[in-house]
């Protein structure tokens, strides 16, 4: 039984390799895993997407070795790599992955050498990610005028397709078939282009905002609210792993998860730290690094109950604050993949350049 054998070499890594190499391998292979092996291809450990995200949140430098991540696997279930024997049935593999909430598992022979990888989505017929996507496409695009004078921002061409078509293609590639698009400004251009989504391989519904309700307020207009919703702003260009996002969200039993991006500022001066009038230290031209909201969320029904009805504008940061006040679990999920918020002319130019230069590779919806 062959799952991933022909691309297996793309997953192998040694313990002394830098974490940055593990990130590159995970981004580049469909199994979304790095297999730590010795010279004989015997399995030493596994590095998953979740391991990488947690290391980013814990400010682990990506120049440190992969062995650092292996040492951080302190949970008793993960002190040894989860693996299966060559020849295991699809049912056995699916049950193993369900038990440990993992998306892939390495297969080993009698000598503990990795011979293949089983991927959950390949084991399940007609696999779909159990979320409904909501793309916020109603904004006026004021900062991109005059480009948006007669075209809604999500319909501006980026590469060979409108930005919104790039987003929908990424959703389709991520096994997300049900999409809701919230519209307001020049809504007909969007609905005329996409129709019911059939030509793009997805099912599309539209929610029209008569007045802008905010990034959270418009969610209240969506019927049948028992799904986990993936909310994405209509001006985001990214190839982040939505499946990994959902896994992280469910693993933390969160009411709401916020995708975040590390943002670094170079301070061009020496920064003085002091206590009263006494200088305690000086840092010459330091870097300040923090996480910023990336405009992508996962929202559960229990969180949506706190969205007020009415015409007052209610944004996602308002919902986050409300949930925190109510003691709900809200987590952040760091993006290490490509991400760009196309809010200003310079960002729009960069998006087109990144596609032309291969920095960002668009998904295909077919």
Confidence band (pLDDT; 50, 70, 90) for 98? confident
In angstroms and rounded to an integer, the radius of gyration of the C-alpha atoms of the chain is: 22
pLDDT over 80 at 244, yes or no: yes
Answer yes or no: is pLDDT of 132 > 70: yes
Residue 75 has pLDDT above 70, yes or no: no
Per-residue pLDDT at 230? 95
Q: What is the mean pLDDT of residues 81-86?
A: 89
With a CB cutoff of 8 Å and minimum separation 6, the contacts of 29 are: 4, 7, 10, 11
Cα 151 to its chain centre, rounded Å, is 28
Are the C-beta atoms of 27 and 337 separated by less than 8 Å?
A: yes
pLDDT at 259: 96
DSSP string, 220-274: GG-S-TTS-EEEEETTEEE---HHHHHHHHHHTT-SEEEEEEEEEEE--SEEEEE
Residue 22: the pLDDT is 92
Q: Residue 156 has what pLDDT?
A: 92
* pLDDT exceeds 60 at position 53: yes
User: Mean pLDDT, to the nearest integer, of 297-307?
Assistant: 91
Q: What is the pLDDT of residues 312-345, one digit of tens each?
A: 788 899 999 999 999 999 999 999 899 999 988 9
Neighbours of 365 (CB within 10 A): 18
CB contact at 8 A, 56 and 262: yes
List, in order of start, the domains of the chain with CATH numbers: 5-123 (3.10.580.10), 132-356 (3.90.550.10)
What mean pLDDT value characterizes the chain?
87
pLDDT score for 362: 83
3-state secondary structure of 337: coil
Q: Mean of the pLDDT values across residues 96-108?
A: 85
Average pLDDT of 131-140?
89
What confidence score (pLDDT) does residue 127 get? 78
Contact 203, 197 (CB under 8 A): yes
Rounded-to-integer distance, Cα 107 and Cα 88, Å: 8
pTM of the model: 0.82
pLDDT in tens, 149-183: 888 999 999 988 899 999 999 999 888 999 999 98
E strand intervals along 173-246: 178-183, 203-208, 229-233, 236-238
Q: What is the rounded CA–CA span in Å between residue 158 and residue 156?
A: 6
Query: Greater confidence, 294 or 140?
Result: 294
Q: What is residue 320's predicted lDDT score, i.e. its pLDDT?
A: 94
Q: Using one digit for the tens of pLDDT, what is the confidence trace for 200-242?
A: 889 999 988 877 777 788 887 787 668 899 999 999 999 998 9
pLDDT of residue 76: 53
Other C-beta atoms closer than 10 Å to the C-beta of 261 total: 19
> What string of H, E and C letters represents the secondary structure of 88-113?
CCHHHHHHHHHHHCCCEEEEECCCCE
Model confidence band, residue 366 (pLDDT cutoffs 50, 70, 90): very low
By percentage, how much of the chain surpasses pLDDT 70? Answer: 95
pLDDT of residue 17: 93
* Rounded-to-5 percentages of helix, strand, coil across the chain: 35, 30, 40
Convert the pLDDT of each residue in 9-44 to its tens digit. 888 999 999 999 999 988 888 888 899 999 999 998
Residue 143 has pLDDT above 70, yes or no: yes
For the chain, the maximum distance between any two Cα atoms, rounded to a whole number of angstroms, is: 72
């Amino acid at each position: 039984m062959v799952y991933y054998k022909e691309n297996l070499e793309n997953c192998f890594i040694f313990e002394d390799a830098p974490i940055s190499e593990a990130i590159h391998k995970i981004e580049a292979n469909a199994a979304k895993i790095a297999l730590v092996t010795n010279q004989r291809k015997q399995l030493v450990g596994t590095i998953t997407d979740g391991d990488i995200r947690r290391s980013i949140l814990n400010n682990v430098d990506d120049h440190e070795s992969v062995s650092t991540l292996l040492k951080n696997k302190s949970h008793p279930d993960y002190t040894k790599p989860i693996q299966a024997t060559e020849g295991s049935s699809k049912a056995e593999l699916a049950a193993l992955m369900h038990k440990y909430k993992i998306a892939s598992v390495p297969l080993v022979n009698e000598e503990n050498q990795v011979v293949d990888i089983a991927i959950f989505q390949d084991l399940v017929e007609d696999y779909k990610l159990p979320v409904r996507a909501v793309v916020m496409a109603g904004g006026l695009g004021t900062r991109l005028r005059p480009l948006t004078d007669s075209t809604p921002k999500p319909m501006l061409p980026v590469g060979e397709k409108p930005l919104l078509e790039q987003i929908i293609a990424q959703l389709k590639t991520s096994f997300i078939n049900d999409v809701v698009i919230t519209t307001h400004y020049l809504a007909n251009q969007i609905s005329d282009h996409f129709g019911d989504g059939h030509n793009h391989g997805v099912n599309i519904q539209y929610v029209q905002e008569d007045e802008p309700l905010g990034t959270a307020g418009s969610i209240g207009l969506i019927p049948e609210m028992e799904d986990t919703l993936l909310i994405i702003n209509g001006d985001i260009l990214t190839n982040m792993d939505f499946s990994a996002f959902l896994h992280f969200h469910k693993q933390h039993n969160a009411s709401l998860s916020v995708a975040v991006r590390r943002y670094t500022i170079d301070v061009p001066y020496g920064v003085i730290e002091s206590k009263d009038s006494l200088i305690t230290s000086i840092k010459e031209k330091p870097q300040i690094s923090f996480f910023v909201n990336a405009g992508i969320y996962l929202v559960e029904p229990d969180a949506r109950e706190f969205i007020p009805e009415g015409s007052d504008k209610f944004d996602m940061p308002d919902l986050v604050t409300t949930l925190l006040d109510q003691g709900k679990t809200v987590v952040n999920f760091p993006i290490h993949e490509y991400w760009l918020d196309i809010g200003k002319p310079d960002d729009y130019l960069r998006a087109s350049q990144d596609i032309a230069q291969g920095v960002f590779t668009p998904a295909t919806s077919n």
